[in-house]
Every structure is written in C-alpha cells, then in structure tokens.
Structure 1
Amino acid sequence: MIEAAFPRQLHPYWPRLQEKTRAWLLEKRLMPADKVAEYADGLCYTDLMAGYYLGAPDNVLQAIGDFSAWFFVWDDRHDRDIVHHRPAAWRRLRFRLHAALDSPEDHPHHEDPLVAGFADSVRRLYAFLPDTWNARFARHFHLVIEAYDQEFRNRVEGIIPTVEEYLELRRLTFAHSIWTDLLEPSAGTELPDSVRNHPAFRRAALLSQDFAAWYNDLCSFPKEIAGAEVHNLGISLITHKGLTLEETVSEVRRRVEDCIADFLVAECEVLEFADSLADGTPRGRELGAAVRACVGNMRNWFSSVYWFHHESGRYRVDSWDDRSTPPYVTNEAAGEL
C-alpha cells in the first residue's frame, strides 16, 4: 500500500545532513566515536527527517535532523535508565530537560551531554519562527517529557496500560504534536490557530502520526518483547483484549491500513481547505501555499516512516548479539551524572 500510493522522496540536502548530524553527535558527545562510526549512518535517523520535511530550507532541516537524532539518543537513555534501575538519574534528567526547554540559552555547556545537546537543538529551532510558535513547541514538549516519565513508572512497576490508556499516552511519547509543529518552520510560516485547528488539517496530521506510531509498534514488537517491554500497542492488545499473537499482529496491521485509507480522504479535504484560503490576497496565497506544503509533508511521512523501519539498524533485532540490548547504545551508567 505504501510503496504504491506514497512514492519515496528525499530532500536534496540529505547527504550533507547525514554528514553534519554525524559530526554534531560527536561534537556534543551524544554517542561515543566508535558507535557513531559503526552505527550512525545505518540507523538512518537523517533519512527519516530528509524524507519528511521536503521543501524545508537547509538550515531548518539541519536543526530538525539534529533534534531528531537527539530524540533517539534520549529515548535510548530513558530505556537504559529503566533497564539498569536508575530512577534518580532519570528524575534528574527529566527536571533538567524541562529547564533547558524553557531557557536553552542557559544550558549549552551542561555537564550532561544530553541536556547540552537538547539545549543546542532547541535554541536553533526557536530561531525560525515567532515566540508564539516557540511557546507552543515548549508547551508540547513539556507534555512529552512527562509522558516519558509515565512510561518510566509503568515499566518499572510492570504496568501494562489498557489499549485506551496506551493510545492516549503513545500520542505523547511519539511526540505527535512536535513533528506536526515542525511542519511550520519547514513551510516558512507560523500557521494561525484557525488553520491548525481546522478539522481536516487536524485529522490529516493525527492520521499521519498515528500511522507512524502504530507502524513503529508493529516493527518494534520483536525488540520490545525481547526487552520485556510493557509499552507497545500489541502488548496491550494481548494483555487486555485477550488476543493471540497472530490476532494482535493482524489488528495492528488493520489500524495501520485504516490510517492510510482515512488519510487519503482527509488529504483531499485539506487541499480543498487550502484552495479556500488562497483568496487572492497576499496573506491568503501565503497561507494556502503553507497548508499545501504541510499536508504534502504529512503525506511524505508515510513513505519516510515505512522505509525507515525497513532500513534502520534500530529494528534488526535478529542481528544483535543480545536481542534485549541494542548494540548502538552505551550500556554503562550514562545516566549517573
């Protein structure tokens, strides 16, 4: 379905993005040099962003690409803090990230590379659009940090959320609002509330992100079962709905396919909305073009997520020496700073 309906594209800046993000990971000490050399390109973090934010200015895509790479490293730290029973380290990191989000200019040289790298990427993202967009981004990411804390507690306590609880939490841990917010600097303009809150625009954005979250759950299912995870749509379905493994895979696939079909309907409605905005005035033309750019990149998210999951070393569990320990992570007590 994806290969036929969503042709793959890559931003022409991608080779440079890959090179510069690799250098940024080293400069910010977010991954050891040997891990960067062996795994960074194969993890395809830059491929994911270069396939999504087409049309973005190069410097915007670079800032997004670095932020995305940081996000994956943060996700790995969060996982290792759980696995190695480091609640104090996680709590410290959580509060530091909240502080860095509100004042990134105060944290560029923080002792924890994860905090310093976050501050650097957020500071750069804040430079592209007005303070109102920055405040919205910060508000959304504060919620993401707290959702990660909820996941931390669930995993430590062995709590498998119900399907309904999981769906709500997953939209935060996957950072639906963040990736949608970043469509705006890519399009070169902040969208007014009346545009962002238009039912068709909101629905198309949600479907593109839900597709990514459920497809990620489908592809990471083996990795997360091996790691005794409790946070996966499939695990919630098995535990709370009594589905077999085969039934669970079929159900997650059905949800993924529904996202695709429903998005194609919503996309048409957003394009009609964009036409209605282009009323002949300069502002109308600008908003219509921005909405078209945003929904075009929502469409690109489908192919980018699809290929990322089939090409990234992040999901090649069968090739790992230990199926519960990703080879690209630093497995020592990195969170004890």
Structure 2
Amino acid sequence: MIETDFTRRLHPYWPRLQENTRSWLLEKRLMPADKVEEYADGLCYTDLMAGYYLGAPDEVLQAIADYSAWFFVWDDRHDRDIVHRRPAAWRRLTHRLHTALDAPEDHLHHPDPLVAGFADSVGRLYSFLGPSWNARFARHFRAVIEAYDREFDNRTTGTVPTVEEYLELRRLTFAHWIWTDLLEPVAGHELPDFVRKHPAYRRAALLSQEFAAWYNDLCSLPKEIAGDEVHNLGISLIHHEGLTLEEAVGEVRRRVGECVSEFLVAEEEMLRFADRLTDGTVPGRELSAVVKDIAMNMRNWFSTVYWFHHESGRYMVDSWDDRSTPPYVNNEATGDR
C-alpha cells in the first residue's frame, strides 16, 4: 500500500546533507571515526529526513538532519546506559539536556559530546522562527526527556507497560510533536494556535506519527526482543494480552494498516480545512498554502519511514555478530560512572 499509494521522493540537497551530517557526527565526536566510516551512510539517518521535509531551505534541512542524527545517538546512549547499569550517568545527562534547552549557546563546548551536539543542533533550530516556537519546541522536548526517564526505570525494573500505557508513552519517546513542530520552519511559517489545535490538523499529524512509531515497533521487534527490551507494542501485546509472537505481529500490522487508511481520510479533512483558510486576504491565502504544504510533508512521512526501515542498517539484526548489541554503537562504558 505504501509502495503504490505514497510516492517516494528525496530533497535535492540530500547528497550534500549526507556528507555534511557525516562530517558533523565526526566534528562533534558523536560517533567514533571508524563507526562513522563503516556505518553512518548505511544507517540512512539523512535519507529519513530528506524524504520527509521536502521544500525545506537547505540550512533548515541540515539543522534538522543533524538534530535527527543526534537523536539516534542519544537513543543509543540511553540503551547502553541501561545495559551497563549507569543510572547516575543517565540522570546527569538528562539534567544537562534540560539546562541546554534554556541556553544552548552556553553548552556548545560541553565535555560530553551529546550535550555539545545537542546544544549546537538546537541552537540552529532556534534561529529559524522565533521565541514562541522555540518555547514550544523546548516544552515538547522536555516531555520527551521525561518519557525516556520512564523508559529507563521500566527497563531497569523489567516492567512491561500495558498496551494503553505504552501507546501514551510511545507518543513521547517517538517525539511525535517534535517532528510535527519541525514542519513549520520547513514551511518558513509558525502556525497560529487555532490551526495547530484544529482537529483536522491534529488528527492528520497524529496518524502520520502513529504509523511511524508502530511501523518502527514492527521492524525493531526482533532487535528489541534480543536486547531484553520492554517497550514495543508487540511486547506489550504478548505480555498483557496473552498473544503469541505471531499474533502480536499480526495485530501490530493491522494497526499500522489502519493508520494508513485513516490518514487518507484525515488528509482530505485537513486539505478542506486549508481551503477554508482562504478568506480573500493575502495572509489567508498564504496560510492556506502553508497548511497544504505541511499536509504534503505529513504524507511524505509514510514513504520515508517505510523505506528507512527496509534500508537502514539499524534494523538488520540478522547481520549482527551479537543480536543484542548493534555494531554501530560505542559499546564501551562511556559517560560518567
């Protein structure tokens, strides 16, 4: 359905994006040089962003791609801090990220590369729109940090969240509203509250992100079972609903399919809402065009997420020497002890 109904496209800046993000990972010491050389391109992090945020100015897409690459590295640090039982190091890191959200310019040279890289990428994202968008982004990312804290506690105690608890948590750990917020600097326009909070806009945004999160769960299930994870829709279904692995996979597939079908309906509602914004004024016509551009990029999220999961080395667990340890991570006991 994705392959036939959702055209795959890439931003024309993508080849330079890939090269520049690879250099940024090295410059910010977010991945060891040998890991960057061997794995960075194959992880397809830039492909994911270049297939989503079409129409973005090059500098905006570059900042988003660097931030996205940082996010994956942060996710890997979270996993390794759990595996190596470093709760104090994780708490220090989360505190520093909260602080860096307030004043990224003060953390550009922090000794922890994850803090410095975060400060650099967020500082660039803050330069595109204005204080109210920046405050919203910071508020949404604080919720992501807190959700990662809850995941840390769940994994260290072996607690599998119920399906409903998991779905609520997943909207935060997948950063649904962060990726949606970033559609605005891509369009060069901060949306007024009445647009962002309109049911037609929010439903289309939520469905696009739910598809991505649940498709990620489907593709990462083997990796996460091998790594003793407790956060996956399939794992919650097995643990709390008594489903077999095969039944859980089938249920996740069903939900993913429903997301696609329901988005097609929500997309039409969002486009009709955009048409109603054209009120005969120049600002109305401009706002309508922006909302239509954003709807197009929400649609792009389906194809870019789909292909990312089929092409990225992040999910090719059968090719790893150790199915519980991704080969692209620094598995040494990095971070404060």
Smaller-chain TM-score bracket = over 0.9
Displacement of 1:26 in angstroms is: 0.4
2:232 maps to amino acid = N
Q: What pairs up with 1:85-96 in 2 under 5 angstroms? A: 85-96=85-96
Q: Secondary structure in 1 aligned to 2:30?
A: coil
1:286 maps to amino acid = E
Which residue of structure 2 lines up, in the alignment, with residue 238 of structure 1? Answer: 238
Moved more, 72-81 or 276-285: 276-285
In 1, the alpha carbon distance for the partners of 2:279 and 2:266 equals 21
Q: Secondary structure in 2 aligned to 1:335?
A: coil
Which residue of structure 2 lines up, in the alignment, with residue 120 of structure 1? Answer: 120
After superposition, what is the alpha-carbon deviation per residue over 1:188-234, rounded to whole angstroms, capped at 9, x for unaligned? 10000000011010000000000000000000000000001101000
In 2, the alpha carbon distance for the partners of 1:234 and 1:60 equals 35
Which residue of structure 2 lines up, in the alignment, with residue 110 of structure 1? Answer: 110
Q: Secondary structure in 1 aligned to 2:94?
A: helix
Displacement of 1:134 in angstroms is: 0.2
In 1, the alpha carbon distance for the partners of 2:316 and 2:155 equals 23
In 2, the alpha carbon distance for the partners of 1:85 and 1:8 equals 41
* 2:18 maps to 1:18: yes
Displacement of 1:280 in angstroms is: 2.3
Runs of 4+ in 1 over 3 A off after TM superposition: none
Which residue of structure 2 lines up, in the alignment, with residue 69 of structure 1? Answer: 69
Gaps of 5+ in 1: none
2:197 maps to amino acid = N
Which residue of structure 1 lines up, in the alignment, with residue 157 of structure 2? Answer: 157
Q: What pairs up with 1:249-288 in 2 under 5 angstroms? A: 249-288=249-288
After superposition, what is the alpha-carbon deviation per residue over 1:5-55, rounded to whole angstroms, capped at 9, x for unaligned? 101000000000000000000000000000000000000000000000000
In 1, the alpha carbon distance for the partners of 2:299 and 2:266 equals 11
Q: Number of aligned residue pairs: give it.
A: 337
Which residue of structure 1 lines up, in the alignment, with residue 44 of structure 2? Answer: 44
Which residue of structure 2 lines up, in the alignment, with residue 82 of structure 1? Answer: 82
Q: Which TM-score applies when normalising by structure 2? A: 0.99
Which residue of structure 2 lines up, in the alignment, with residue 314 of structure 1? Answer: 314
CA RMSD between the two structures: 0.6
* 2:229 maps to 1:200: no
Q: Secondary structure in 2 aligned to 1:262?
A: helix
Displacement of 1:278 in angstroms is: 1.7
Q: Secondary structure in 1 aligned to 2:331?
A: coil
Q: Secondary structure in 2 aligned to 1:333?
A: coil
1:59 maps to amino acid = E
Which residue of structure 2 lines up, in the alignment, with residue 214 of structure 1? Answer: 214
In 2, the alpha carbon distance for the partners of 1:191 and 1:154 equals 36
Which residue of structure 1 lines up, in the alignment, with residue 187 of structure 2? Answer: 187
